[in-house]
A and B are shown apart, each in its own frame.
Chain A
């Protein structure tokens, strides 16, 4: 559905309201999809639990988490991001309920046509309840089920369940509904604060469809996780238990696997802003029919040293040993923070993907190849940054340019692609390219504060990439991206936020002989929110990806549709 008039209307609305505050107030499906609708960040949607996201300003074509944080057993992807089963409990207390739907169900149009021409539109539901604090204790219950983006692969999901269990499972892999949503789970937890520390325990139960990292095989999981954390002064003790029961397609019965992980960390603060972490992780895993780990029992000692001088300097060093090799990951950022104009250097050297979670995906009856996710070789990235800006009470502007180079990049090399009933699976493995890629990133950012209730802000990114390794990255980023946001609030606590995001053509590289083209497109988002009683209560309606046409950003992906979400929240 292309709605030119609507697009113009929204742009006019932005212009009329001349809106915008310090942060984006577009409300989305919580957690997962915030950066899709709220920022200019790159966001390639496959499903609600599988997507690729990274900040535009990051020169290197990898996600931030991969480059700058300590890898973990449950949280690592080379190019993308997945639904995390161990999400941290939210820190502020609130009760929130929201529901939404993809727009465009036929309703009465079915009676006009006598048949249904459109695929089903699917809802989302979230309910979060936080108890008040009673003598240091607080409790949380949260339920989330996002059926959005689930219509495209529903037939494939049914076929996966059917061939596994010819009598067909009675359950629909969700707490309610028949849409085979990407996730449907609840988490319950308690937290106790005491004078020298804090303890948190939570339990999650539900269903999840998740793709394996390399081949992209889609698996239905029955999910149970438990997590407990105890922090006493500088010592952190964490225990995680992850039970997975899934249906592998040549296995006619359920198979189970589990991972338990314990870690003990000493987090010290020394002089200035520097911190250091010393500790070890222990993982015990159940034998998994689909994945071959290099060891079922793994002890990984690690040391991480961060030095941060607030003004200009960030240094992070990680050293870890996984039994067969050392991980070495050093990053250095030098930047002059104190002025709007300045220069900086960004450097990153790493020798491994994730020493905690290296494995090989095993061949199965309809997929003959194993997929290797183990790799160690040195990758080096360097970027320089130059920026200049100015601000006063009326406006603010900033130009930024960054030449960068990446040598011997890690990437997923495809051996072959097979189609499993239309769903693409790939074989190959993580390896080093051997070549280099280099590029230039440029950004112009400007804000206009016409009144303290009206702001307009715009960002333009221009970039170019060269070098033999440039097409090895999972995504060829758009050469031009723009983002305009506007915000207005009136004297009765009503706030209108709108934004428009444009990206030129992008290419997904790892999924076929020729790159998968994601056509250039606009995205419009609008939220109208009413705040009450000193902002403690808010109710809102959000229109996301307004007037979206049927675009698939991934060959195994969902239609990125126009969604409306309504919700209410009480903070206390």
Chain B
């Protein structure tokens, strides 16, 4: 299962990365647009974490800039606080993401990339854990953003994301759904 997940995500992100055409001359991206966004939503543990962690709130900040006429580069930072279901432990789950998003009609986006996750216990009454210190691991994500609704200077949309962390002995998976407010900075 997990190799399937990793394979698909690697392939999909690589395909987004190929937004430009193969050509003799290189035209470096000019970053002619820049968008900042705030997300508010929830993180949902999936698969083997389904009955280990409870769903928790998510707060995110992201920046996107034009890469080619059909794609953007996205940098995002997200944080969640999650409670363990059967242990008196609560964790911080923070992640930084960098990836590409492919432009779909009506402002919708399909994207993916690399994520670096940091986890540490926020409160722990259940004995010593490795998570009492900062632990980090790499992973990948895929994200789909709905068509946007214009509200004056702001764009409103809903974003769903699927995160896979390359942990051992099994991969860890999360889904997140959030309301996203974008503002065109330039």
Q: Give me the interface of A with B, judged by CB distance under 8 Å.
A: 1, 3-6, 8-10, 12-13, 101, 103-114, 116-118, 120-121, 123, 451-454, 488-494, 496, 528, 530-534, 541, 547, 562, 564, 566
Contacts and interface: CB of A to CB of B under 8 A. Distances in A.
B136 A101 contact: yes
B138 A103 contact: yes
A105 to B, nearest CB: 4
Query: Size class of B's contact patch?
Result: 35 or more
27 contacts: A5-B3, A6-B3, A6-B6, A9-B7, A9-B11, A101-B116, A101-B137, A101-B138, A106-B135, A106-B167, A107-B119, A108-B45, A109-B172, A111-B91, A118-B169, A453-B23, A453-B24, A492-B20, A492-B28, A493-B26, A493-B29, A494-B18, A528-B14, A531-B26, A532-B28, A564-B138, A566-B114
Nearest to A114: B87
A206 to B, nearest CB: 23
Interface in B1-39: 2-4, 6-7, 10-11, 14, 17-29
A108 B67 contact: no
Contact of A107 (B20, B24, B48, B167): B167
**A-B pairs with lowest CB-CB distance, top 8:** A492-B20, A491-B23, A5-B3, A490-B20, A104-B168, A9-B7, A564-B138, A491-B20
A491 B22 contact: yes
Contacts of A454: 22
B185 to A, nearest CB: 19
B130 interface: yes
Contacts of A528: 14, 17
Given A9-B11, A109-B168, A121 B137 contact: yes
Q: Is the interface of B mostly helix, strand, loop or mixed?
A: mixed
Nearest to A119: B168
A108 B91 contact: yes
Given A123-B136, A492-B68, 13 more contacts: A5-B4, A9-B7, A101-B136, A103-B138, A104-B137, A105-B137, A106-B130, A106-B169, A108-B45, A112-B170, A113-B169, A490-B18, A528-B14
A111 B3 contact: no
B131 A452 contact: no
A116 B3 CA distance: 22
Contacts of B91: 108, 111
Interface in B111-133: 114, 116-117, 119, 129-131
A4 to B, nearest CB: 7
A113 B130 CA distance: 12
Given A101-B137, A104-B137, A110 B130 contact: yes
Contacts of A103: 137-138, 166
B51 to A, nearest CB: 9
B67 to A, nearest CB: 6
